[in-house]
Amino acid sequence: TIARSGTSEFLSTLEKGEKTETSNNLIGNFGLGFYSSFLVADRVLVSSQSNSDDKQWVFESNADAAEFKISEDPCGNSLGRGTEITM
């Protein structure tokens, strides 16, 4: 096993109503799934528009960089609301 997602354990914790660091840290539990996108792409763009925000935001990350960028989407509000992932 290279990695384990912890999804079953996470859901079990939520069902029991236990408050733990694991149940409050979604990135720690599911971030590996996002980073596996670099197995098929060198660059990942995530555009997201919240229903409660007038601005649309873009998360951009490259496989060869140890950093990421979050900025207001230069395309404006093209989604209305929701999330679009481009690889």
Q: What is the pLDDT of residues 26-39, one digit of tens each?
A: 555 555 667 778 78
pLDDT at 79: 84
In this structure, are 15 and 43 located in the same domain? no
Provide the token pair at 25. Answer: 């840290």
Residue 45 and residue 78 share a domain: yes
Global pTM reads 0.58
Domain extent at residue 5:
1-31
Q: Does residue 44 share a domain with residue 62?
A: yes
Which among 59, 53, 61 is positioned nearest to 81, based on CA atoms?
53
User: Above pLDDT 70, what percent of the chain?
Assistant: 62
The answer to whether 50 and 12 are in contact (CB under 8 A) is: no
Q: Are residues 63 and 81 in the same domain?
A: yes
Q: How many CA atoms lie within 13 A of 50 on its CB side?
A: 6
| Contacts of 31 by beta carbon, 8 Å cutoff, 6+ apart | none
Question: Apex CA 3: angle with CA 15 and CA 44, to 5°?
Answer: 95
